[in-house]
Chains A and B, each alone.
Chain A
């Protein structure tokens, strides 16, 4: 604990327990939280792969074919699968938390949490569907 907090100075005999480095393993919800924070690494990873893909696309057909071959190696398949799981975890946990931050009032009454979360899921489905349609139609 940092020494920044100034408590009343006339308590020389307080006992302060240090927070364990392993605090995030003490409770399931803490572990979920830390995992959710960790998902940002995988989101960044997908963003980098995407940039790499764009670069290959700009460099021409040969480079793009090379990129696709790379993606099919077992190493990339494994890493991508793990990353996909984490990104799904990221999306789902954040969608479920969205109603906490978004308070929408309609005619003076608060819109229930499940509607806010549900709209997020619908938007997700719709956008995923739109992307899939664009990619797969031809």
Chain B
């Protein structure tokens, strides 16, 4: 008999259950399968009622983040062989409200992301006729790492601060703010600093560092936040010494 592995999947069907419960599924164990393949096998062959999000299957779209054996993972990159012989425990991303089964509501993040203005802001746009805003490879290099974020939210699920203080703007949104702050074409670093220096911003972070560890794109949100704290503190000192110079 070909080998199999058990997936213990959290089910939550609000019309049936008042709280999530585990359901076991026996799926074929294949070396080239990831947890997402196993979930799709369940959906196709065993239980069509299982709900989960996924799209690209290749670590680009950021939709298939779930807790696998207690750690936030992109299920498209979590090989069954790394968890064999199992059972493999699959849960929805922690700290987010569960809508159904493995699907969480990410409205909170979308709201926070918009709050940090993650787009290029110019004090004055130059006329189209003058062409594009040019950038050297070195200038690109300063923020490129932070621009790799795919909004998969594994970092939020790894951050106990976000769990305890849901108002915290959180790792990905701050890293993306930093991405635009460091972009040579952007001119709104001051504006973002004001938003991020508020109570729910960078100072909520106590540098647990787990966000960086779980990031599938090596964005290093923890680094972004600490660097931002340095900027924030320097700005504060400057405004203390030269109150008229920072306005």
Contact = CB atoms under 8 A, between A and B. Distances in A.
B107 A8 contact: yes
A30 B160 contact: yes
Nearest to A107: B138
Given A13-B15, A100-B212, 8 more contacts: A2-B166, A15-B20, A15-B98, A19-B95, A23-B164, A100-B226, A102-B230, A108-B141
A5 interface: yes
Nearest to A17: B94
A29 interface: yes
B28 interface: no
Interface string A1-21: 110111110010111110100
B86 interface: no
9 contacts: A2-B167, A5-B108, A7-B107, A14-B97, A23-B163, A33-B206, A100-B222, A100-B223, A100-B227
Contacts of B160: 19, 23-24, 30
Nearest to A101: B226
Interface in B15-61: 15, 19-20
A123 interface: no
Nearest to B213: A29
Q: How large is the interface on B (under 10, 10 to 19, 20 to 34, 35 or more residues)?
A: 35 or more
B185 interface: no
Interface of B: 12, 14-15, 19-20, 70, 94-95, 97-99, 105, 107-108, 111, 138, 141-142, 160, 163-167, 206-210, 212-213, 220, 222-223, 226-227, 229-230
A85 interface: no
A97 B207 contact: yes
Contacts of A30: 160, 208, 210
Taking chain A's interface residues, is the majority helix, strand, or loop, or is none over half, making it mixed?
loop
Contact of A1 (B166, B209, B210): B166
Q: Which 4 pairs show the lowest CB-CB distances between chains A and B? A: A13-B14, A101-B226, A14-B97, A100-B223
Most B CB atoms within 10 A — which of A5, A27, A29, A33? A5
Contacts of A102: 227, 230
A1 B168 CA distance: 12
Contact of B97 (A16, A26, A29): A16
Nearest to B19: A15
A62 interface: no
A41 interface: no
A97 B105 contact: no
A26 B210 CA distance: 13
A12 B157 CA distance: 22
A77 interface: no
A103 B111 CA distance: 29
